[in-house]
Structure 1
Amino acid sequence: MFTGRESSAVQPLQEQDPDRIADFRLLGRLGEGGMGVVYLARSPRGRMVAVKTIRAELAATPDFRLRFAKETAVAQQVGGEWTAAVLDADPDAALPWVATAYVAGPTLYQVVAERHGLLPERSVRGLASGLCRALSDIHDAGLIHRDLKPSNVMVTIDGPKVIDFGIARAVDSSTTGGLTSTGVVVGSPGFMSPEQIRGERLTEASDIFSLGAVLAFAAAGRLPFEATEGQLHALMYRVVHEPPDLTGVPEPLLALIKDCLAKDPADRPTLAELQERKETQYRSLGPWLPPEVLARLGQEAVQLLDQEDPRTRMTPSAEAGVEAMAEAVTAPGRPPTAPSTVPFTDRTGGEDGRAGVPMLRLADERRRARGHKAPADGCRAAVYWLLTLVALTSALTVVQQLHVASGQELLYDEPLPDADDIWDLGDWGVLSFPLLWYAKLCFGSALLVAWLVWFSRVRATAEKFAPGRLRYDPSMAVIGWFIPIANLFLPKQIADDVWHASSPGRRPAPARVLNAWWALWLTTFLTSPLFTTPWTALLSEHIEDVGDGMSSDYDYGYAFLPETWINLVLHVLVVLTALAAALYVRRLTAMQATKLHS
């Protein structure tokens, strides 16, 4: 039901094929199977996607649409790093459809059986590492794939990607219905687990068995259970009762594959155990494929760039440009004028429902990011105001300290009962020390609340950009700030994940603003006990008794200690930290707004 790719070549659209499905423009055919037709399409924002339509006879099956809607909703929770992410679906359409991220590359079956033969041990280890992570994402979403096979594993430069959750279903389903209720064998017999062939209720261990069969196929170039073509029952019998034939599998991989192919589900390792084994310790999937495979992938990527949009036509000005260029060829000394093309827009209605309105460019989106329609906008405004108030309070405190340090003295005719009660620092009036100190506490507490709300919201927005790829639970965006040890690394790691996920380009945006803000914040956090200390407590009063035998004057002065100057520097640091935080909030908000609108 959910697939990212059916074939390595894009075929032209046929007469009966539509021009578009929902908001997706169809560019060509990727393949056709028992479930329906798969098209290569382009989203309204220009992203390449694979759109699969479901056959009418399947859509007419009782409860199919309800089951389809449930499975697509669950599948959208699976992260897109090791799988083809489900982007959109419509189970209520005349022909139900589902759109997934397009995975540029051949299937593992095509690589091994049709092009390059078996993979070397290093590549199989990379394959095992990537498939374990993909199954982990699928199982964490409450799904069992149930049809993991080489034709459902896409081979890409970055690593393998699992596609086609066509017969996946929720783990907590209380029935054994679904596609098996019709009596049809579900799955690919050579890669099905024994319990799946017997029609038993499946667990995650069933996918582990399929994983072992896929790894054996990649390492040996053939199925671990084989039978003469057409002898389906003989093949199923061997899967259930006979040991696998692992001839040709490299010795270092034999133990891993044998454990996965255990007949009893309880004897198979769990995903967590597999990921701890040395056979799957392939953390970097950079050059994980043989050079000839990488070269073929590069060629296919170039071919994909040449794929034209059937709905793109040349404008009259572009046609004039072509004529001008033709004239330039025959007229020496005249530079040729290159033609230009623009996306075709229906005059009956554009992407946003208005006729003739072109799609917004990235520059337009960045300008929109400077407006008020941005993620967590209300909290962002509150953070800006409170950062300003905190910075202003610290700046006034610095001015007040310097004013006192300039030689301000307090003269009294009699001794004060308690020198610590001296709060009136010259002619400051209402801007005396108590007011500023309590203002710092008030504004700082309010800033903490606003910051936590804003930080949790931008983290939630980043999760939409990269589902399942952000570290830590979403609640840690709030809780992490209250753990003293975690304040040294956990909020920064969450901020890093949010920053990278929110970068609108292919490469992460430079994080100079993020790093500068964090360095200043960390310094402020570590020195916060001294910062919150009332700075008058760091002063020493100077009492001088001047008498002529008749009367005495008491001259109270303040002598600045080294700690007092440190406190003054920290208040200056708070101003810089607030400025860096405001720049970080502004930059991150702009990036998220750009990516949301793009």
Structure 2
Amino acid sequence: MQPLAPGDPRAIGGYRLLARLGEGGMGQVYLARSERGRTVAVKTIQPALARESDFRARFAREVATARLVGGEWTAPVLDADTEGPAPWVATGYIAGPTLHQVVAEDHGPLPERSLAFLSFGLVQALRDIHRTGLVHRDLKPANVMITIDGPRVIDFGIARALDGGTSGGLTRTGAVIGSPGFMSPEQIRGLRLTPASDVFSLGTVLAYAATGRLPFGTGDSGGHALMFRIVEEEPDLDGVPGALRELISDCLAKAPEDRPDIAALLERTGADVPEGPWLPAEVLAQLGRHAVALLDSEDPAAGGGPPPTVPGPATPPPAMPGTAVPTLVPGAPVHPPTYLEAPPVHIRPPTTYGAVWPQPGPPAPAEPTPEPRRLSGAANLLTALFAALAVVAAIAAMLHLQLLGDLDEWQVDTPYFGDLDDNEAAESRKTTLDAFEVVWGSVQLAIVAVWLYWFWQVRRNAEAFAPGRIRYRRSRALLFWLIPVANLVLPKQIADDIWRASHSAPHPRTALVTLWWALSLGYLLFTAFVSADRWHEADTYASARTRATLGTVEQVWCLLAVLTAVLFVRRLTAMQHARITARGPA
């Protein structure tokens, strides 16, 4: 905190200013108290921005949306004036230093215990921000306050509503908004931002807290070089504790879709939250000194002459709205704090400039998720059908191998392939293989029916385990399994979603999913484009041998795909049953 400068106002909108807290890209931030004694942070807007009607309308909309964030991990928006000549917003004051001050000046990198609690608190804050439709866009150590109870995220000054345009991290003039060392690759490129951008910034903040340095280096060699490293190079995570390294690495993935979502981060960080004090003793002592400094700011030194004030609720606005310099009213009284209950919060909606933006309502209630069910019966039936198909495939493979030997013998007795129509042994072999094809097709049809039922249910369970993390609706996901072309991409993604949602550990190994998908897809493509022709429909013995060989390969491939499918079904079913058991009764 710094004393008020001679030119600073002494009151803004009914809040008595006590000290300067800092200055950002949008304006000055002051420590203040309400008439009833609540300590707040008041942020004013630069005159140049205040003259822009587009900015005012956007600012008003974002303030109204930020009001809905709430929660114990952020600074609540208490009051605002978006219509006056000098717009401002008041938020709850967080009594504590910033994470940047703790790491860079007072203590250094935080211990692993503190990092675990810090990561949990920041993820909780992002959850509260994102579920109201906001992307913070400037998550950095200077915007993370450290308190005894945990971290608090502040400064939604450059946050943007998710539906507020597609310009991403660019201003109207093309300047990138954000802090270079903590920006995401898509923010640097000026693309549309999603909550995944804040997840990238989260990874950078945690890496800084763990090591005291930025994972992509500093901007000493130029801001453009730093932004290039963020977009193109891998982060330097040396010194990050092992328990946190993998989480930070996942958050710093270049592609937004490769980063974990908030639900996954909540699951990964919530398991290791330490009990008791989360900060080192030196930082706790610093918080005590900060509280003393806050008490010392009760009576700031008054400048010469009567204290100025900025028009607020009790002062009518000047005759010319939009002027850059606030009108000062001499002799405005300054009331001492009475330390009563703070007044109800309110937001003044914009009506003077531009269109009246609709005020967002409370977040829509989440759709109820179904209770998970055990699927032993469907899994056992599907396993039995797969086992039957494996037996059929193994016998068919042996029959094709025998056919290769028979073709060599038949060629000696009947050089012309067309004469095999009168060969009883060839006709018997043809009848046997055709019968196996019928059995094979019937078992596959039964597998498809049971497989779809089992898949529908495991997809339902996965949504119950991790609501909102599954990318495809059940009906749409089920349809994709029936479209062969979609198997090239989508079912693998769906299977990954279900697998990860069903696994209780934070980092499930998906090698089995990939192996099953690769073998099944390869088998599908092989049967569709390579081995579709039958051996007895060939024109020559050489062609018949080729088709019989392909038939053998097809059956062996089918056998391998079936075995991995059985492992996939059993493993995924067991994972879901384990989670159901861990959840206990509903």
Normalised TM-score (structure 2): 0.52
Moved more, 169-178 or 15-24: 169-178
Hey, what does 2:200 align to over in structure 1? 209
What is the aligned counterpart of 1:298 among 288, 293, 304? 288
Deviation at 1:233, TM superposition (A): 1.1
Match of 1:252, as an amino acid?
A
Hey, what does 2:136 align to over in structure 1? 145
Deviation at 1:253, TM superposition (A): 1.1
- Cα deviations by residue, 1:231-271 (Å, 9 ceiling, x for unpaired): 11111111111110001111111111111111111111111
- Distance (Å, rounded) in 2 between the aligned partners of 1:81 and 1:185: 30
8 Å Cα contact 1:351/1:357 also seen in 2: no
**Pair 1:309–1:263, CA change in 2 (3 A):** same
What is the aligned counterpart of 2:245 among 239, 254, 261? 254
SS at 2:42 equivalent:
strand
8 Å Cα contact 1:43/1:49 also seen in 2: yes
- Cα deviations by residue, 1:75-134 (Å, 9 ceiling, x for unpaired): 000114101111111111111111011111111111111111100111011000000000
- Distance (Å, rounded) in 1 between the aligned partners of 2:236 and 2:244: 14
Match of 2:245, as an amino acid?
L
Match of 2:260, as an amino acid?
P
- Distance (Å, rounded) in 2 between the aligned partners of 1:93 and 1:178: 27
- Distance (Å, rounded) in 2 between the aligned partners of 1:231 and 1:474: 45
8 Å Cα contact 2:74/2:153 also seen in 1: yes
SS at 1:180 equivalent:
coil
8 Å Cα contact 1:84/1:102 also seen in 2: yes
- Distance (Å, rounded) in 2 between the aligned partners of 1:165 and 1:357: 29
Alignment map for 1:378-389 (pairs within 5 Å): none
- Distance (Å, rounded) in 2 between the aligned partners of 1:90 and 1:78: 18
What is the aligned counterpart of 1:121 among 100, 106, 112? 112
Matched, 1:61 2:31: no
8 Å Cα contact 1:24/1:44 also seen in 2: yes
**Pair 1:351–1:266, CA change in 2 (3 A):** closer
Deviation at 1:352, TM superposition (A): 12
Hey, what does 2:278 align to over in structure 1? 288
**Pair 1:218–1:361, CA change in 2 (3 A):** closer
- Distance (Å, rounded) in 2 between the aligned partners of 1:350 and 1:271: 39
Alignment map for 1:36-51 (pairs within 5 Å): 36-51=27-42
Gaps of 5+ in 1: 1-9, 313-343, 366-466, 477-598
SS at 1:136 equivalent:
helix
What is the aligned counterpart of 2:81 among 85, 90, 97? 90
SS at 2:40 equivalent:
strand
What is the root-mean-square deviation of aligned Cα atoms in Å? 3.4
- Distance (Å, rounded) in 1 between the aligned partners of 2:113 and 2:123: 16
Matched, 1:105 2:101: no
Match of 1:287, as an amino acid?
P
**Pair 1:259–1:99, CA change in 2 (3 A):** same
- Cα deviations by residue, 1:191-250 (Å, 9 ceiling, x for unpaired): 111111111111111111110010001111100001451511111111111110001111
What is the aligned counterpart of 2:158 among 167, 171, 196? 167
Structure possessing the higher relative contact order (Cα contacts under 8 Å, 6 or more residues apart): 2
Hey, what does 1:27 align to over in structure 2? 18
Hey, what does 1:437 align to over in structure 2? none
Hey, what does 1:221 align to over in structure 2? 212
8 Å Cα contact 1:44/1:351 also seen in 2: no
Alignment map for 1:326-405 (pairs within 5 Å): none
- Cα deviations by residue, 1:364-395 (Å, 9 ceiling, x for unpaired): x9xxxxxxxxxxxxxxxxxxxxxxxxxxxxxx
- Distance (Å, rounded) in 2 between the aligned partners of 1:475 and 1:231: 48
Alignment map for 1:491-510 (pairs within 5 Å): none
**Pair 1:357–1:198, CA change in 2 (3 A):** closer
- Distance (Å, rounded) in 2 between the aligned partners of 1:177 and 1:268: 18
8 Å Cα contact 2:14/2:313 also seen in 1: no
- Cα deviations by residue, 1:24-51 (Å, 9 ceiling, x for unpaired): 0111111223321111100121000010
- Distance (Å, rounded) in 2 between the aligned partners of 1:357 and 1:58: 29
SS at 2:226 equivalent:
helix
**Pair 1:218–1:13, CA change in 2 (3 A):** same
Deviation at 1:172, TM superposition (A): 1.9
8 Å Cα contact 1:159/1:285 also seen in 2: no
8 Å Cα contact 1:79/1:85 also seen in 2: yes
Deviation at 1:310, TM superposition (A): 4.5
**Pair 1:204–1:107, CA change in 2 (3 A):** same
Deviation at 1:282, TM superposition (A): 4.5
Identity of aligned residues (%): 63
Hey, what does 1:410 align to over in structure 2? none
- Cα deviations by residue, 1:324-348 (Å, 9 ceiling, x for unpaired): xxxxxxxxxxxxxxxxxxxx9x9xx
SS at 1:222 equivalent:
coil
- Distance (Å, rounded) in 2 between the aligned partners of 1:233 and 1:358: 50
- Distance (Å, rounded) in 1 between the aligned partners of 2:313 and 2:218: 55
8 Å Cα contact 1:78/1:137 also seen in 2: yes
SS at 2:163 equivalent:
coil
Moved more, 284-293 or 82-91: 284-293
Alignment map for 1:419-458 (pairs within 5 Å): none
**Pair 1:295–1:361, CA change in 2 (3 A):** closer
Match of 1:300, as an amino acid?
H
Deviation at 1:296, TM superposition (A): 0.8
Gaps of 5+ in 2: 317-331, 342-361, 369-586
8 Å Cα contact 1:351/1:359 also seen in 2: no
Deviation at 1:297, TM superposition (A): 0.5
Deviation at 1:182, TM superposition (A): 1.5
- Distance (Å, rounded) in 2 between the aligned partners of 1:90 and 1:146: 23
8 Å Cα contact 1:227/1:234 also seen in 2: no
- Cα deviations by residue, 1:547-572 (Å, 9 ceiling, x for unpaired): xxxxxxxxxxxxxxxxxxxxxxxxxx
Match of 1:158, as an amino acid?
D
Hey, what does 1:186 align to over in structure 2? 177
Match of 1:218, as an amino acid?
A
- Cα deviations by residue, 1:447-474 (Å, 9 ceiling, x for unpaired): xxxxxxxxxxxxxxxxxxxx99xxx969
SS at 2:172 equivalent:
helix
Hey, what does 2:188 align to over in structure 1? 197
SS at 1:119 equivalent:
coil
**Pair 1:362–1:54, CA change in 2 (3 A):** closer
Hey, what does 2:470 align to over in structure 1? none
Normalised TM-score (structure 1): 0.51
8 Å Cα contact 1:32/1:38 also seen in 2: yes
Which structure is higher in strand share? 1
Match of 1:142, as an amino acid?
G
**Pair 1:126–1:83, CA change in 2 (3 A):** same
SS at 1:302 equivalent:
helix
Deviation at 1:20, TM superposition (A): 0.6
**Pair 1:356–1:234, CA change in 2 (3 A):** closer
Aligned positions, number: 328
8 Å Cα contact 2:168/2:191 also seen in 1: no
Deviation at 1:357, TM superposition (A): 13
- Cα deviations by residue, 1:486-536 (Å, 9 ceiling, x for unpaired): xxxxxxxxxxxxxxxxxxxxxxxxxxxxxxxxxxxxxxxxxxxxxxxxxxx
